[in-house]
Amino acid sequence: MYKRLSAILFPIATLLLIGALVWGYQENQEKNSILIKAENQYQRAFHDLSYHVDRLHSQLGNTLAVHSASTGSQRKGLVNVWRITSEAQNEINQLPLTMLPFSKTEEFLSRISNFSYQTAVRDMTKQPLTDNEVKNLKELYNSSAQISKDLQDVQDKVISNRLRWMDVETALATNKEAKDNTIIDGFKTVDKKVGEYPELDWGPSVSSMYTKRSVKKLGGTPITTENIKHKAAQFIGHHNGNIKVVENGRGTEWASYTAKSNGKKDETYTLDYTRNGGHLISYSCERTIGPRSLGYKEARAESEKFLKEKGYPNMTAVSYDQYDNIGSLTFVNKQGDVLIYPEKVTVRVGLDNGQVTGLQASDYVYEREVNQKIPKPKLTVEQARKYLNSDFKEKYNRLSLIKNELSDKVLTYEFGGSINGKDYRIYINAENGTEENIEEIRSNKPTNKTENHQNQQKQKHKKQA
């Protein structure tokens, strides 16, 4: 009997063992294939990075070599600098450097990219390179030479010693023998040297991109937790005793307060305030949203009512999006007949009963300018309209104050309309006719047919009740 069983089970066990060995071999082969592919991608990105940093150095030299009056060649050179820097940034993102201190080099390349782009897009025949900008280019030329040399040194060691980037990733992930890794040491050296470069005057446009916004221009003295409790209680209509306040970032100029409170049923309120002046940054009411019974018109009406009650007068809705049973509306401040886009708030509305469940007001707080002086347009709307594409079908126009690519506030004529089957907003500079911005309008606003269906369902439910 045992012989018969063994005669049957032995071949089966043998087949299972062989199958397991084959499966294990295939799994190992697939794993090795994935590792080889990842290593090849890392090596390609690293060598491309070294190449593009060297090309960046050469292109900066070419831009400095042309005659100061040759604005066309300068502009072409700066465009190439921007393109090459963007490629270098992309290659850095492909390397396993997330746990490695390489931020100074990344920020350095980012500033070069923004500086070259914003300089190249302007009309250099009217605004040629200033002495300070030429000085910056010379400093960048020298600095890029050093970065290129250091990266090439790392590249030589990688090639001669056949170093693997997968070892770098493992060392960073496990923090094991990271101090002995040649590639890690090389990148740390590059980043340390970049951090020691002299600070450049990048100009207000570029510097503003890296400057954290503050509410100092709004004024206001630091306030206490008791003040926040009172403000939060007034906003949500609750008693102070039911509100807990926590201070964030104590001792820094970015200090803020977070107030929390429980409401009816499952409602939870969260409000964030600035420490200086006690300005509301955001408000949220977390609750279960029921079935949708309201449309865009009702959501907009409830949002406008809420903003007026909470101290945000003269706000105009400029966009609407709908996600499931929640409507999201963006409002901008209106001064006279001019929409001020930087001063915006976003309101979130539950489409079951119209309750406002969220307010994001950080842009309004940080960009708000009391008694802001808005210039008079030099062009009439008819003159500005001439700068539009002849195929553009205009639906409306209005004056709008926006921030352009240089982060400057400019007065524009906002033309809404359609072309090529899509809706757009086109902003024409009210002073010189420049197209400051073009944006496609992608709204999730429901159609009239959808709203009619919702209203019919609403009436049907009422009759059944």
**Same domain? 424 vs 314:** yes
Are 329 and 465 members of one domain? yes
Residues 193 and 318 in one domain: no
Q: What is the pLDDT of residue 454?
A: 47
Contact assessment for residue 277 and residue 223, using Cβ atoms and an 8 Å cutoff: yes
Check: CB of residue 327 under 8 Å from CB of residue 296: yes
Q: For residue 100, which of 17, 12, 29, 165 has the smallest C-alpha distance? A: 165
Q: Are residues 113 and 202 in the same domain?
A: yes
If you write DSSP's letter for every residue of 37-84 in order, what string do you get? Answer: HHHHHHHHHHHHHHHHHHHHHHHHHHHHHS-TT-HHHHHHHHHHHHHH
Burial of 307 (0-12, 13-18, 19+ CB in 10 A): buried
- 1 inside domain: no
Q: What are phi and psi of 246, to 5 degrees?
A: -125, 135
Same domain, 201 and 314: no
Q: What is the pLDDT of residue 99?
A: 52
Residues 205 and 348 occupy one common structural domain: no
Is residue 4 in some structural domain? no
Nearest to 428 by CA among 414, 407, 417: 414
Model confidence pLDDT, tens digit, residues 172-219: 666 554 445 677 777 777 777 777 676 666 665 565 555 555 554 555
pLDDT at 106: 82
Same domain, 170 and 298: no
The residue from 210, 244, 279 where one domain ends is: 210
188, 210, 232: which is the final residue of a domain?
210
Whether 68 and 176 share a structural domain? yes
Instruction: Kindly report the three-state secondary structure assignment for every residue of 9-49.
Output: HHHHHHHHHHHHHHHHHHHHHHHHHHHHHHHHHHHHHHHHH
What's the CA gap between 161 and 163, in Å, rounded? Answer: 5
Assigned domain for 202 exists: yes
Q: Which of 210, 242, 276 is the last residue of a domain?
A: 210
Is residue 428 included in any domain, yes or no?
yes
- Least Cα distance to 213 among 271, 253, 270, 272 occurs for 253
Are 428 and 307 found together in one domain? Answer: yes
Residue numbers of the domain that contains 447 = 289-465
**Minimal CA–CA distance to 414: which of 402, 423, 403, 405?**
402
Number of compact structural domains in the chain: 2
405 and 315 within one domain: yes
Report the relative pairing of strands 338-350 and 393-403 from DSSP bridges.
parallel
Do both 456 and 324 map to the same domain? yes
> Is 354 a domain residue?
yes
Same-domain pairing of 190 and 323: no
Low-confidence residues of the chain: pLDDT under 70: 1-11, 13-14, 16, 21-22, 24-35, 97-101, 168-181, 196, 198-220, 240-241, 251-254, 443-465
Domain assignment present for residue 228? The answer is no
Distance between CA 25 and CA 323 in Å, rounded? 48
- Report helix, strand or coil for 277: coil
Please check whether residue 150 lies inside any domain of the structure.
yes
Distance (Å, whole) CA 238 – CA 462: 32
Residue 361 lies inside a defined structural domain of this protein: yes
